[in-house]
Amino acid sequence: MEHTHEVEQMCVVAKGAKNGPAPIPQEGKWTQVKEVKDISGLTHGIGWCAPQQGTCKLTLNVKDGIIEEALVECLGCTGMTHSAAMAAEILPNKTILEALNSDLVCDAINTAMREIFLQIVYGRTQTAFSEGGLPIGAGLEDLGKGQRSVIATMYGTKAKGPRYLEMAEGYVLEIGLDGDDEIIGYKFVNLGVMMDNIVKGMDPAQALSKATGTYGRFAEAVKVINPRKE
């Protein structure tokens, strides 16, 4: 290692403080992280692109510095779905540092990687105080039944008011209005559950019926409308 002339002329002064890095909480332990392999945890990061046309939620399960599981969810940009497919191949089996310096194709996914990296290395993970952390596969469980991302899609105008299009429960088929034309409930179909039943051999009409439900005071509605047509 090369030193400048000025540094070479200096005498040695001993360094007194040798306390090391501050410990961070990781999977039920307090850890002094000195190397990449010291890092473990499961958590989430949110990213966005420069034009803010789309957003990404990234979930990583890291064990001993290696990404063992990755869940990539995106919204709002058609091109990002292909980038997410590539990111799902790129991320597993990389160290958390390698992943930070990998091109994940989409700016929103790259930003999500940056944000999740900060949470993980500073000990702000979802599993910080969970002894042993979570098993590989826990990220997939975030999707719930039917393994579909939780989506909310709402639309509204000054002239015609709000329209519920998709809720956590699923695709909204109808919204129910009271006598004042205010929304009091909705009927939905859980597309993940419906498709699971169809794949298992259930008649599509029956699968649709079994996956359909209502929320709120839908049964009391004075008027029912299709939010996409009416």
pLDDT tier for residue 15 given thresholds of 50, 70 and 90 = confident
Q: What local confidence, expressed as pLDDT, does residue 142 receive?
A: 83
Helix (H, G, I), strand (E, B) or coil at 72: strand
Q: What local confidence, expressed as pLDDT, does residue 177 receive?
A: 98
* pTM, 2 dp: 0.87
Mean pLDDT computed over every residue of the chain? 94
Q: What local confidence, expressed as pLDDT, does residue 19 receive?
A: 81
Dist. CA 124–CA 139, nearest whole Å: 17
State yes or no: pLDDT of 119 exceeds 90.
yes
127-174 pLDDT, tens digit per residue, is 999 999 999 999 998 887 778 898 899 999 999 999 999 999 999 999
* Residues in CB range of 11: below 8 A, 6 or more apart: none
State yes or no: pLDDT of 63 exceeds 90.
yes
DSSP H or E stretch at residue 105? none
Measured from the Cβ of residue 211, the count of other Cβ atoms closer than 10 Å reads: 23
State which amino acid sits at residue 37. Answer: K
Q: Please give the biggest Cα pair distance in the chain.
A: 89
For residue 199, what is the DSSP state?
H
Q: Is the dihedral of CA 223, 228, 229, 230 positive or negative?
A: positive
Helices (H) and strands (E) in the chain, counts: 7, 11
Q: What local confidence, expressed as pLDDT, does residue 33 receive?
A: 94
CA-angle at 64, arms to 130 and 57, nearest 5° = 70
What is the rounded average pLDDT of the residues 58-80?
A: 95
Burial class of residue 87 in the structure, from the number of CB atoms within 10 Å of its CB (0-12 exposed, 13-18 middle, 19+ buried): buried
